[in-house]
Amino acid sequence: MHAAGHIRSNNMSHSTVALFDSLHTRHQHQINLNSFTSICYQLGKHIVRVNYSDQLHIVLGESLAHLAVDPLDAVHLEIDCLVMDEHWKMPFAQTDYQIQGLLAGYNDSDHFAAFQFGASVFSFYDRTIHRGYYVIEKVNALPFWEKGSPFRSIFHWWTETTSYQLIHAAYLDYNGTGVLLSGKGGSGKSSTTVGALLKGRKTLGDDYLLMDTADGWVYSLYQTSKLDKNALERFPQLTTIINADALAHGKKALIAANSVAPDAIQREGKASIHLLPKINHSTTSVIKHATGADALRTLAPSTIFQLPGLHELTFKKCSAICRMVPVYEILLSVNSEEIDQTIDKFVKGT
Amino acid sequence: MFRTRAAKLAIDKFPGEIIIVDLQSGAYYSLRKSACTIWECLETGATQDDLINLFDTITDSQKVELQDFLTELQQCNLLDTAPTMRLQESKVQQAFESILFEKYDDMKELILLDPIHEVDARGWPHQKQ
């Protein structure tokens, strides 16, 4: 474990030096002007400290709150979280913007930099000192889904030198047996998770998880779920806790697992079964054998292309995961209770 | 001689299926049956004769299928050069199994968001609503 410092690394391009210095200066200025809040989180076996300016922990901290630990001096990753204002504008030109928001001239052997289009968030990471900056253009304009999974680009970059991988998947605990669910948007992954939570199951999350590709252990990252209108119609009991603003715009609603059922969120578990859900509109769910290739075709693209950079490494880590855990396809019925019973019965029989 | 375009492709091989992800375009592919045999031959570099000679009792219609597959690989930008197949006698190697080649495009929009045409009047980086 090391103490992440403010000293920048030596191997920086001129533009990256200027960017790093301006971010550091701006963050110090905001700290001096406002109260700031440092919160340490446990990610896997590691500790991350986030220094929130401007009460940003209220806006962004909920999705990570279940991972909060007592303050520590020495951490594995440190993130400064701040807001753009008239004193700090993004120094990038339109021509700097590349695929997935990666910024030309600011990504080198020691640094990652990306602007997240849609959320208007700039993320920067210095891999030599394990320090990240997360800069929000406008707090009020921050989309609900970004509040549900903040810092994920920085987390992703940080995992490069570890055996961890952020994966786009859900995890459910069935009496001690860990079930991984991966699928594209609309596959029924989130509604399966919420349905199981309402039956008293535990989860590690249903959007992004942190998985150790060395031993198959899975760690919770965000405690929030996203459900669209159609899925919510199946769970009318959740209408009192949904994000009404999000639904008003016809998008998905953000739901914290612990608000669905008390203590529903867990911190870690071992994946023993990998399910690939598919909506089947049938009266009974069916689970059948699938292959590692089926799993990789499902897990890798949605994981690779939602996270900026490190694509080849991410593919390799996803490959390892898909070979590590037995894979099955589940054709989902329209009945969430029946789906939960089918998975439970299957888990008991394996 | 032609070969696969290895740069910017992530490839993994499972029994009976090869998964290819084009890291530039966001497209990804599934190859099964004889498509796997052909792809592995292409990886090391193959002449048109090499590909024909992979299979026992390959019919003219199967040679056309093979030719179509190569053309599709080329159109998907998975090959470096364009092959022109010549139909000729094959040697005894293995049976030709109908090629299964599937292309998936659903991830493209995630990486190809246009920073010029999808911005509002304030210009980049403000997304058009």
- Give every residue of chain B whose pLDDT is below 50, as ranges: 86-90, 92, 114-117
DSSP letter at B127?
A: B
Q: Is A276 within 8 Å of chain B by CB? A: no
User: How sure is the predictor about A343, in pLDDT bands with cuts at 50, 70 and 90?
Assistant: very high
Chain B residues touching A120 at Cβ < 8 A: 125-127
What sign results for the dihedral spanned by CA atoms B36, B38, B40, B42? negative
Of A261, A257, A270, A276, the closest CA to residue A177 belongs to A270
Chain B residues with CB under 8 Å of A296 CB are 12, 14, 19
Kindly state the tokens that stand for A134.
């997360």
- Give how far B71 is from chain A: nearest CA, Å: 23
A292–B14 CB contact, under 8 Å = yes
Please indicate if any CB of chain A lies within 8 Å of the CB of B6.
no
Cα–Cα distance, A73 to A300 (Å, whole number)? 36
User: Is some CB atom of chain B closer than 8 A to the CB atom of A33?
Assistant: no
Tell me if A292 sits within 8 A of A274, measured CB to CB: no
Q: Which of A117, A165, A276, A316 to mutate to test the interface with B (most CBs of B within 10 A)?
A: A117
**What confidence tier does A1 reach under pLDDT thresholds 50, 70, 90?**
low
Q: How many CA atoms lie within 13 A of A202 on its CB side?
A: 16
| B16 contacts in chain A (CB < 8 Å) | 291, 293
B interface test, pick of A89, A96, A152, A304 with most B CB neighbours within 10 Å? A304
Residues B125, A291: C-beta atoms closer than 8 Å:
no
Residue B87 contacts A where some CB pair is shorter than 8 Å:
no
Nearest to A230 by CA among A144, A339, A340, A336: A336
> A165-212, pLDDT tens digit by residue?
999 999 999 999 999 999 987 888 888 998 999 999 999 998 899 999
Per this entry, what is the length of chain B? 129
Closest approach of B25 to chain A, Cα-based (Å): 10
* Angle made by CA atoms A39, A45, A48, in degrees to the nearest 5: 25
Q: Has residue A4 got a pLDDT over 50?
A: no
pLDDT value of residue B116 = 46
Strand, helix or coil for residue B56: strand
d(CA B114, CA A272): 40
Cα-Cα-Cα-Cα dihedral sign, residues B7, A97, B106, A182: positive
A312-333 pLDDT per residue, tens:
999 999 999 999 999 999 999 9
pTM above 0.95, yes or no: no
DSSP state of A169: -
Of A280, A201, A194, A279, the residue nearest A241 (C-alpha): A194
Give the residue from chain A lying closest to B15, CA to CA. A293
Q: Determine the residue of chain A that is closest to B20 in CA distance.
A: A297
